[in-house]
Amino acid sequence: MKTVHVLNGPNLNLLGTREPGTYGAQTLAQIEADLRARAAALGADLVFKQSNQEGDLVTWIQEAGSAGQPIILNAAAYTHTSIAIHDAIRGAKAEVIEVHLSNVHAREHFRHHSYISAVAKGVILGFGPMSYRLALEALLEGAA
Protein backbone atom coordinates (compact mmCIF):
# COMPACT_ATOMS: atom_id res chain seq x y z
CA MET A 1 0.00 0.00 0.00
CA LYS A 2 1.39 3.38 -1.00
CA THR A 3 1.74 6.01 1.74
CA VAL A 4 1.14 9.68 1.00
CA HIS A 5 2.18 12.38 3.45
CA VAL A 6 -0.16 15.36 3.77
CA LEU A 7 1.67 18.19 5.50
CA ASN A 8 -0.06 21.37 6.62
CA GLY A 9 1.50 24.60 7.79
CA PRO A 10 0.64 27.49 10.08
CA ASN A 11 -2.91 28.48 10.95
CA LEU A 12 -4.49 25.58 9.08
CA ASN A 13 -5.52 24.21 12.48
CA LEU A 14 -7.98 27.15 12.50
CA LEU A 15 -9.83 26.11 9.34
CA GLY A 16 -13.57 26.34 9.71
CA THR A 17 -13.36 29.44 11.89
CA ARG A 18 -10.57 31.52 10.32
CA GLU A 19 -11.76 33.57 7.33
CA PRO A 20 -14.36 31.06 6.07
CA GLY A 21 -15.07 33.35 3.12
CA THR A 22 -11.51 32.72 1.92
CA TYR A 23 -10.76 29.22 3.19
CA GLY A 24 -14.21 27.64 3.48
CA ALA A 25 -16.17 26.23 6.39
CA GLN A 26 -14.58 22.77 6.59
CA THR A 27 -12.21 22.07 9.45
CA LEU A 28 -8.84 20.44 8.89
CA ALA A 29 -10.21 17.33 10.64
CA GLN A 30 -13.05 17.17 8.10
CA ILE A 31 -10.63 17.59 5.22
CA GLU A 32 -8.49 14.80 6.69
CA ALA A 33 -11.47 12.44 7.06
CA ASP A 34 -12.60 13.04 3.48
CA LEU A 35 -9.07 12.58 2.16
CA ARG A 36 -8.55 9.37 4.16
CA ALA A 37 -11.73 7.92 2.65
CA ARG A 38 -10.58 8.81 -0.86
CA ALA A 39 -7.08 7.43 -0.21
CA ALA A 40 -8.54 4.14 1.05
CA ALA A 41 -10.68 3.88 -2.08
CA LEU A 42 -7.50 4.31 -4.13
CA GLY A 43 -5.59 1.75 -2.06
CA ALA A 44 -3.36 4.20 -0.20
CA ASP A 45 -2.64 5.22 3.37
CA LEU A 46 -2.17 8.78 4.64
CA VAL A 47 0.16 10.37 7.14
CA PHE A 48 -1.65 13.63 7.92
CA LYS A 49 0.09 16.32 9.99
CA GLN A 50 -0.19 20.01 10.82
CA SER A 51 2.24 22.34 12.55
CA ASN A 52 2.65 26.05 13.06
CA GLN A 53 6.43 25.49 13.23
CA GLU A 54 8.58 25.71 10.11
CA GLY A 55 11.13 23.23 11.46
CA ASP A 56 8.48 20.54 11.89
CA LEU A 57 7.56 20.83 8.21
CA VAL A 58 11.23 20.60 7.20
CA THR A 59 11.70 17.48 9.34
CA TRP A 60 8.56 15.82 7.97
CA ILE A 61 9.59 16.57 4.37
CA GLN A 62 13.01 15.04 5.06
CA GLU A 63 11.43 11.93 6.62
CA ALA A 64 9.00 11.37 3.76
CA GLY A 65 11.74 12.11 1.25
CA SER A 66 14.08 9.59 2.83
CA ALA A 67 11.36 6.97 2.47
CA GLY A 68 10.62 8.02 -1.13
CA GLN A 69 7.00 8.66 -0.20
CA PRO A 70 5.02 11.39 -2.01
CA ILE A 71 3.96 14.58 -0.26
CA ILE A 72 0.98 16.88 -0.54
CA LEU A 73 2.14 20.15 1.01
CA ASN A 74 0.11 23.15 2.07
CA ALA A 75 2.85 25.22 3.66
CA ALA A 76 0.39 28.12 4.07
CA ALA A 77 2.23 31.37 4.84
CA TYR A 78 5.62 29.59 4.74
CA THR A 79 5.04 29.16 1.01
CA HIS A 80 5.99 32.79 0.54
CA THR A 81 8.88 32.98 3.00
CA SER A 82 10.67 29.69 3.58
CA ILE A 83 13.90 28.94 1.82
CA ALA A 84 14.37 26.11 4.35
CA ILE A 85 11.25 24.33 3.07
CA HIS A 86 12.37 24.94 -0.53
CA ASP A 87 15.74 23.34 0.25
CA ALA A 88 14.13 20.38 2.06
CA ILE A 89 11.94 19.67 -0.97
CA ARG A 90 14.90 20.02 -3.31
CA GLY A 91 16.75 17.40 -1.28
CA ALA A 92 13.79 15.04 -0.94
CA LYS A 93 13.63 11.90 -3.03
CA ALA A 94 9.87 12.21 -3.33
CA GLU A 95 7.28 13.90 -5.47
CA VAL A 96 5.75 16.98 -3.86
CA ILE A 97 2.53 18.65 -4.90
CA GLU A 98 1.95 22.13 -3.52
CA VAL A 99 -1.66 22.85 -2.61
CA HIS A 100 -3.60 25.91 -1.46
CA LEU A 101 -7.25 26.20 -0.60
CA SER A 102 -7.54 29.70 -2.08
CA ASN A 103 -6.27 31.13 -5.35
CA VAL A 104 -3.24 32.92 -3.96
CA HIS A 105 -2.82 34.84 -7.22
CA ALA A 106 -6.19 36.53 -6.71
CA ARG A 107 -5.14 37.72 -3.25
CA GLU A 108 -2.55 40.10 -1.82
CA HIS A 109 0.56 40.69 -3.91
CA PHE A 110 2.89 39.20 -1.27
CA ARG A 111 1.13 35.84 -1.73
CA HIS A 112 1.95 35.69 -5.46
CA HIS A 113 5.49 34.36 -4.93
CA SER A 114 6.08 30.76 -3.86
CA TYR A 115 9.44 29.35 -2.82
CA ILE A 116 7.87 25.90 -3.21
CA SER A 117 6.51 25.95 -6.76
CA ALA A 118 9.93 25.80 -8.41
CA VAL A 119 10.78 22.52 -6.65
CA ALA A 120 7.32 20.93 -6.62
CA LYS A 121 6.09 18.42 -9.19
CA GLY A 122 2.93 20.51 -9.54
CA VAL A 123 0.70 23.10 -7.93
CA ILE A 124 -3.05 22.89 -7.28
CA LEU A 125 -4.81 25.92 -5.85
CA GLY A 126 -8.10 27.69 -5.57
CA PHE A 127 -10.42 24.68 -5.33
CA GLY A 128 -10.92 24.76 -1.57
CA PRO A 129 -10.69 21.35 0.11
CA MET A 130 -10.93 19.70 -3.32
CA SER A 131 -7.35 20.93 -3.91
CA TYR A 132 -6.15 18.16 -1.58
CA ARG A 133 -8.23 15.51 -3.34
CA LEU A 134 -6.99 16.59 -6.76
CA ALA A 135 -3.40 16.36 -5.53
CA LEU A 136 -4.01 12.90 -4.06
CA GLU A 137 -5.55 11.66 -7.28
CA ALA A 138 -2.69 13.10 -9.33
CA LEU A 139 -0.14 11.29 -7.17
CA LEU A 140 -1.97 7.96 -7.06
CA GLU A 141 -3.41 7.83 -10.55
CA GLY A 142 -0.17 8.65 -12.31
CA ALA A 143 -0.64 12.26 -13.38
CA ALA A 144 2.15 13.50 -11.14
CA–CA separation, 23 vs 37, rounded Å? 21
Known catalytic residue at 115: no
E strands along the chain, which residues?
2-8, 44-50, 71-74, 96-100, 122-125
From 5, 78, 86, 100, active-site residue = 100
- Catalytic residue among 23, 78, 115, 132, which? 23
Selection from 84, 95, 91, 87 nearest residue 3 by Cα: 95
Is 23 in the active site? yes
Task: Just list the catalytic residues.
Answer: 23, 100
